[in-house]
Amino acid sequence: MHWTDQQLGELPVKSDFRLRGLEMTRLETFCDAAFAFAVTLLVISGDGMPRSYADLVAALKGIPAFVASFAAVASFWWAHRLWSRRFGLEDAVTTFLSLAMVAVILIYVYPLKMIFSAFAHWASGGFFPTEFSLESGGDLLGIFTIYGVGFAAMSGMLALLNGRALRMGDELRLDAAERVRTHQEIVMQGTLAATGLASALFAQVMPPSIAVWAGFFYMTLPLSMPILAMRFQKRVAAVRARSGSGVEGDAGS
């Protein structure tokens, strides 16, 4: 869609972005339904409704793993929703990437719950139960590898979606602040993907006694993500200072 000045002026603005995708598309509806289905696979009790108080207590002990898994799925859904709201794109490339995300999340949800359940069991000294048994250290390293690849795939596709939007910046009439924010999403999602790949690679190539620490690669994210966010915030502030307003006109005008 080629946006006119009048159409752009009527759009609501949020976080330096004119929201071009306010109307739900069939693709976005399908993606939302797929993410919702993935969440249903994370239900606290996988064996149905508890039949006794003991069953209820055992099911409630699965809450930490469920919450962590739900948060991971929700974060990817939110990032895709944010991309949809900002750009409103639905061409062949973005449709393929969105459907690929759906396929990956429906596969990724199983190792996702597995690894958080195993971690909660380990961190609590066995208080929180796990539905999965690990017969050897190699099993744990395999889980780290599968999780890392899935995490990298989801983050990588989000980076590609934002990259596609940035390449279509002239058609979308992205202004300078919007281009900076889009670049920020590419870099941050790329960093997430690199972290997942680094964890998976570490689990595969290092000796088992060291490789078991592969999961702690994700502990770097609470540090790296805010640093990147602050760096890009300074760039956006510089754009605002040059334009003298929160959202400036087209970068090419």
Mean of pLDDT over the chain = 86
Q: Is residue 93 part of a domain?
A: yes
Residue bearing the bigger pLDDT, 3 or 152: 152
Residue bearing the bigger pLDDT, 122 or 101: 101
∠ CA 92-97-98 to the nearest 5 degrees?
100
Predicted confidence band at 132 (pLDDT cuts at 50, 70, 90)? low
Predicted confidence band at 134 (pLDDT cuts at 50, 70, 90)? low
Q: What is the pTM of this model?
A: 0.86
The predicted pLDDT at position 53 comes to 81
Q: Is residue 193 part of a domain?
A: yes
* CB 56 within 8 Å of CB 46: no
∠ CA 127-119-102 to the nearest 5 degrees?
125
The predicted pLDDT at position 46 comes to 54
Domain count, the chain: 1
Predicted confidence band at 249 (pLDDT cuts at 50, 70, 90)? very low
The predicted pLDDT at position 253 comes to 35
Picking from 106, 82, 77, 101, the residue whose alpha carbon sits closest to that of residue 152 is: 101
Predicted confidence band at 246 (pLDDT cuts at 50, 70, 90)? very low
The predicted pLDDT at position 252 comes to 39
Q: Percent of the chain at pLDDT above 70?
A: 90
Minimum mean pLDDT among 22-31, 127-136, 183-192: which range? 127-136
Alpha-carbon dihedral of residues 18, 100, 171, 24, nearest 10 degrees?
-40
Q: Is residue 14 part of a domain?
A: no
* CB 110 within 8 Å of CB 162: no
Predicted confidence band at 118 (pLDDT cuts at 50, 70, 90)? confident
Burial classification of residue 60, based on how many CB atoms lie within 10 Å of its CB (0-12 exposed, 13-18 middle, 19 or more buried):
middle
Task: Give me the domain span that covers residue 52.
Answer: 20-243
Predicted confidence band at 144 (pLDDT cuts at 50, 70, 90)? confident
Cβ-based neighbours of 246, under 8 Å, separated by 6 or more: 13, 16, 177, 240
CB burial readout 102-124, b (16+ within 10 A) else e? bebbeebbebbbbbbbbbbbeee
CA 83 to chain centre: 11
Residue 47: Cβ within 10 Å count:
11
Picking from 229, 247, 109, 75, the residue whose alpha carbon sits closest to that of residue 174 is: 247
* CB 67 within 8 Å of CB 128: no
